Amino acid sequence: MNQWLGGGQQKAQAWGAMIKILLVEDNDVDARLTQDILAEWGMEEFEIIHVTRLSDAVTRLARIRFDAVLLDLSLPDGYGLSTVRQMQAANPTIAIIVLSGLNDQTLALQALQNGAQDYLVKGQGPSELLARSIHYAIERKRAEERLTYLAQYDQLTGLVNRTLFRDRLIQAMARSKRLQQPLGLMLLDLDHFKPVNDTMGHSVGDQLLKAVAERLQECVREVDSVARMGGDEFTIILEGLTCEEDITLVAQRITKRLAEPFHLGEHRALIGVSIGITVYPTDDHEVDELLKHADAAMYRAKQQGGSSFQFHIPDASSSSTCFS
């Protein structure tokens, strides 16, 4: 036994830093057994906090950072797969390992489909199995989060990408109608970007796009969404507006900020931006039509020489308005 423990401690050191575990188990005997198993694997590896109720687990997750949750499916205030869903809702980024007394393959699959990374039957398998499951679950969750990030964010600038932008715009439109607060949709296209890219090189062009993204984020509030649609085209969603003039002020701020020189290492770049704007629900159409209207307004700004903005006007007789 001592020889096995020594090997476990060496492995624990190889895994790296202390892992913080939230053990959610109302049976004291099962909880003690789980803690003893992990202690055998590596005394210095796991820090375990034990709670007996689902509500206590949710509270702890809100206050403390954990690496993984070991979750029983039968608790005084929660039963079955709903416990997994509630853990997932409380902290979508945490790894969840279900520890169940039921050797049920169907339930195990359903637990994974509901957000768990693994399903283990209590008392089965060597002690090494639980420790390995925790490590692998954490790594799988990290890989999952990374894939989610790659699918939703632009890799160059870190901004929201086209896919997530559409989702956010749809949600913003729903909030706009529900709260009766119009939103502004901006479509931005950089002026004179291609000459910079061609003469200074693509590496400098990439640096410029990243710098543009930073300046755009400085020009809007945290509640607004800035996205890169591709190439040198960006979009912005402005929510919670009271006046069309609010959008005008943001557009002026952006055109002024992007007209300032960019110092990129030994290079100095001068560009501008053409912005097309439409206001929802004054422009009461679906996402694709709104984008077309903003694009047409942007093209008008571009035709006027760039470094300017234009509004889409659904009704030629419309004028700048404020909203209650």
* Residue positions annotated with a catalytic role: 232
Tokens 């005394």 belong to 43
DSSP code, position 119:
E
C-alpha 19, offset from chain centre: 24
Separation of alpha carbons 56 and 22, rounded Å: 10
Strands 233-238 and 267-269: unpaired
Q: What is the SS3 assignment for 217?
A: helix
Separation of alpha carbons 224 and 239, rounded Å: 6
Q: Which one, of 295, 208, 185, 200, lies nearest residue 260 by Cα?
A: 208
Separation of alpha carbons 256 and 226, rounded Å: 17
Separation of alpha carbons 296 and 275, rounded Å: 10
Q: Which one, of 41, 42, 120, 114, lies nearest residue 81 by Cα?
A: 114
Element spanning 249, H or E: helix 244-259
